[in-house]
Amino acid sequence: MQRKSVSRISMMATPIMIVCGMLLTGSSAWAKDDHDIKWCSNRTLQGDYGFTIEGVGGLPPAFPLNAIRGVAMGHFDGKGNYSQVDHVVAGGVPPPLEWTPGSGPYTVNPDCTGTLVINIPGSPFSPVNLHFVVVRQGKEIRTVVDSGSATTSTGIKVGQSSDALVSGADDAEAARAAARLLPGRTTPRSHDAGAGPAAPSGGRVERWRRVALRPGR
């Protein structure tokens, strides 16, 4: 009698377990689908980005085509406003100003493409119109100038990786110093005021120590 009762309970429990399993599987799939959908907006770009610039540019005949190389430190406010300072060398000739300021609006589309306009006071190349794509969840931006040059740039968000503190502390400090030159910045932020990058905690302490004691540093 007891065996029959156990058998009946088992037969009733099996379909319930199957249904529950199907529901859990479906919920997992829905959650994965939701996670895979990535939407971008102006808020995706927020903070300081260090750019490398290269290409060919000019406005013939007044300005012949020349190889262009440069760097820029830009700031996105997350609300559609952008400002920067850049140092661009054209044909081996440095710019009139060591750091040239510029600013303008930007727009990020839901598919992570976007546009940017940089107004540069006193420049014959102003305004500079660019298209860009946002990658790595907003940690990186890749741009191309629409007209007047075949110039591209890649911007990396400042201060994203703790590994960068270990492998490129000097570069990170230089980037923060350039960021303080951005138009409208009158007060250094708290992490700018320190003597240098903070040592990582936890398991990274030993790695920091090895790098700090490396010959030549």
The Cα 128–Cα 149 span in angstroms is: 10
Q: What is the mean pLDDT of each run of 10 residues along the chain (217 residues)?
A: 51 50 43 55 97 84 79 98 96 93 98 97 91 97 88 92 45 58 51 45 48 50
Residue 84 near residue 74 (C-beta atoms within 8 A): yes
* H helical segments located in the chain: 2-36, 162-167, 169-179, 205-212
Structure tokens at 70: 């440069």
Q: What is the DSSP letter of 109?
A: -
pLDDT at 50: 98
From residue 109, give the alpha-carbon distance in Å to each of 42, 143, 170: 8, 14, 35
DSSP code string of 176-208: HHHHTTSTT--S--GGGSSSSPPPPPGGGHHHH
pLDDT at 212: 46
pLDDT at 171: 52
